[in-house]
Amino acid sequence: MGDVKGFLKHERKTCQYRPVCERKADFAEVFKLRDEADSRLQASRCMDCGTPFCHSACPLANIIPEWNDYVFNWQWDKAFELLDQTNCLPEVTGRVCPALCEYGCVLGINDDPVTIRDNELAIVEYAFKHGLVKPRPPKKRTGKKVAVVGSGPAGLSCAVELNRAGHHVVVFERDEKIGGLMRFGIPAFKLDKSILDRRIALWEKEGVEFVAKKEIKTPVDLKGYDAVCLTGGSRVPRDLNIPGRKLKGIYFALDYLTSEIDSKDKSVVVIGGGDTGADCVGTANRRGAKCVVQIEILSRPPEERTPQMPWPTYPMLLKNSTSHEEGCSRQWQVLTKKFKGQGLPAGRQGARGKGIECVKVHFPEGKMAEIPGTEFEIEADLVLIAAGFLHPEHDGLLASLGLEFDSRGNVKTGDDYQTSKKGVFTAGDMRRGQSLIVWALAEGRGAAASINRYLS
């Protein structure tokens, strides 16, 4: 390493965020890019640790210590060259990835880990700024055609790898623009959509063909392709089948994030404590909500590692996102029992929800149980269900292809990503269940390697 004592000289310093009062007034990105000098000092904190657990903790196997060393030595071009070998969208993971790598950082045993995610973002943004990111069309074409159905991170990753291998790749997307949930599920204040447009334009120059507003419904739509990769994600939301569910004013989180559902001057309750729930919190505040409450059925996570979550495992710790800083009441161990209406009986057309009935729960011996006498109500003009997703949509293409599903309802494959139908592969959330963007990118790369072997 360039400075083996850098971690002793410099404290961890992450990207700075815009003031809350300023960023709540718009949907611009909440953070400011770190300057190059600060990034160099942060890269110097990467130790000469011998066994870089950060490397194995990253699903993409990013070559982290080496590109940190290049940044410290002002060799940004070489740093980007290494980063580009393993990650086709570092400008996205550098913004929204939960940084599994940082929890595996050796420095994190008894100190603050290296700012790996911010360093990654600094490298790729430097590369764009200085013209280092260029189209890389294949020198030779194989004559084989591959259809990728779905344009989320798994689909894009798969398409890029197959195109660079020389195959002609067409990416189909049923929504009006390419990007999947990166475009429609992540708010612009976390990921500005120009970031996606910038990269997609480069891939078009490489030869990837993108077809938006095209839903693939039957095998006939895939006729003429030598292989197919399904990357439609896990889009069936987990619902709450409790009394009052049909009242107006109750929506799934994704429907709220992808539309202009009015929340101005309303009391908003978000059910679900994950990242999607936090995105709803930030969006509700920007749309003028009177107040926002986020409830979670599980216990409040610890703020530091416990003996049950030793290094270098990924710990389930309390996450305070920028959205929570902007105004939100968070409550844990809360079970929603009933949606309450006003004006008309629940179930009658036009009845609107005005609150939820809840009860506190605990988990003796690992099983959930209600705590007697803890019933309470929360006022709610608007309820957003952010309880995760169950599995991919079975109706339509998956059913018409006659694919097998696993016990969780995901598309069943072998280790080679191939489904029960020869020549049809799948990757990402459709195969592994709801997961992270970094895992979807890794899945796309893995599927592309298998498809390339199949075509060869």
SS3 content of the chain, % helix, strand, coil (to 5): 35, 20, 50
| pLDDT at res. 346 | 46
136 lies in a domain? no
Q: Which residues of 154-172 are buried (b: 16+ CB within 10 A; e: fewer)?
A: bbbbbbbbbbbbbbbbbbb
Instruction: In whole angstroms, give the CA distance from residue 320 to residue 318.
Output: 7
Task: Give the percent of the chain with pLDDT over 70.
Answer: 97
Contact 137, 205 (CB under 8 A): yes
Are both 363 and 409 inside the same structural domain?
Answer: no
Q: Which phi and psi angles does 349 have, rounded to 5°?
A: -60, 130
Are both 356 and 398 inside the same structural domain?
Answer: no
113-129, pLDDT tens digit by residue?
A: 999 999 999 999 999 99
Are both 383 and 244 inside the same structural domain?
Answer: yes
188 lies in a domain? yes
327 lies in a domain? yes
State yes or no: pLDDT of 355 exceeds 90: yes
> Which residue do the tokens 């997703």 mark?
389
| pLDDT at res. 344 | 45
Domain boundary among the residues 330, 356, 387 is at 387
139 lies in a domain? no
257 lies in a domain? yes
Range(s) of the domain holding residue 100: 6-129
Domain boundary among the residues 94, 129, 164 is at 129
Q: Is the pTM of this model over 0.85?
A: yes
Contact 17, 32 (CB under 8 A): yes
Instruction: In whole angstroms, give the CA distance from residue 286 to residue 26.
Output: 7
The total number of structural domains in the chain stands at 3
Are both 160 and 250 inside the same structural domain?
Answer: no
| pLDDT at res. 387 | 97
259-281, pLDDT tens digit by residue?
A: 999 999 999 999 999 999 999 99
State yes or no: pLDDT of 353 exceeds 80: no
Position with higher pLDDT, 85 vs 1? 85
Are both 368 and 428 inside the same structural domain?
Answer: no
